[in-house]
Amino acid sequence: MTGVHNPSEERLLAYAAGTLSPPEAVVVAAHLAMRPQNDAWVRTLQALGGRLLDDLEPQALAEDALARVMARAETDAGEVLASTPLNDMAGLPEPLRRYALGPWRWLGPGMRARDVHAPRDGDCRVILLEIGPGRETPKHTHGGIELTCVIHGAYATETALFEPGDFEEADGEVLHQPRVVSPDPCLCVVALDGQIQLDGWLGKLMQPFIKL
């Protein structure tokens, strides 16, 4: 259950090209801030892409997706950064510090979440999720994508261990039940599309009360 967990090559390539949705890009950026070796690889891809763009016509350059996403992110960051208390930023990767944070919301015993006011894409948004030591989420799958980067602590699924900087990609084909295995709470940044889908008859009873 050990090992380093990075975003897939396809997702890193999409990030470098600027074609990821803004919420996904925020979580990937947090991962890259914690894994400098991956960040260097992505910057190399972006530099290569920039050389190719030098050969394009000005009209094609105007359609560059990376420029559009970065411009949108910088605009949103400038609008919300001033309202974010500095002590809320302590310990977060730099890409998350540019966004305001909502209040903590209770999800269940030892579990809470807060919104990260980063750009949304439809129902896909960014949240911080904190789960206490020894706690586990209900077994669930997903209505859309779920990208998770561990900031502090560690959690385990049935097949893998995720520690600080590790990245998990999940969708409707993944059924799992993360459990915190670190002595301290596990804090993650998550890009979540829609709501998680709880498994089993008990999960169906609990579903109306679990809102991320």
> Tell me, what's the pLDDT at 206?
46
Q: How far is it, in rounded angstroms, from Cα 118 to Cα 59? A: 29
Identity of residue 40: A
What are residue 32's phi and psi, to 5 degrees? -65, -35
Q: What is the pLDDT along the chain (212 residues), one digit of tens a residue?
A: 556 789 998 998 899 888 999 999 999 999 999 998 888 878 887 776 654 444 545 444 334 444 443 444 344 333 333 334 434 566 899 999 999 999 999 888 898 999 999 999 988 899 999 999 999 877 766 667 889 999 999 999 888 999 999 999 987 566 767 899 999 999 999 998 866 656 543 444 444 445 55
Cβ 80 vs Cβ 97: under 8 Å: no
Note the Cα 143 to chain centre separation in Å: 16
How large is the C-alpha radius of gyration of the chain? 18
42-70 CB burial, b ≥16 within 10 A, e <16: beeeeeeeeeeeeeeeeeeeeebebeebe
Q: How far is it, in rounded angstroms, from Cα 184 to Cα 193? A: 27
Q: Which residue has the tokens 């801030």?
A: 33
Q: What is the DSSP letter of 174?
A: -
Which is nearest to 30 in space by CA: 14, 48, 10, 7? 7
Q: Which residue has the tokens 């400038």?
A: 78
- Tokens at 186, concatenated: 């596990």
Q: How far is it, in rounded angstroms, from Cα 28 to Cα 72? A: 16
Query: Could you say which architecture CATH assigns to the domain 1-212?
Result: Sandwich (2.60)
Cβ 150 vs Cβ 163: under 8 Å: yes
How far the first Cα of the chain sits from its last, in Å, is 27
For residue 31, the cross-strand partners are none
Q: How far is it, in rounded angstroms, from Cα 103 to Cα 105? A: 6
- Phi-psi region for residue 175, left (φ > 0), alpha (ψ -120 to 50) or beta? beta
The model scores a pTM over 0.85 = no
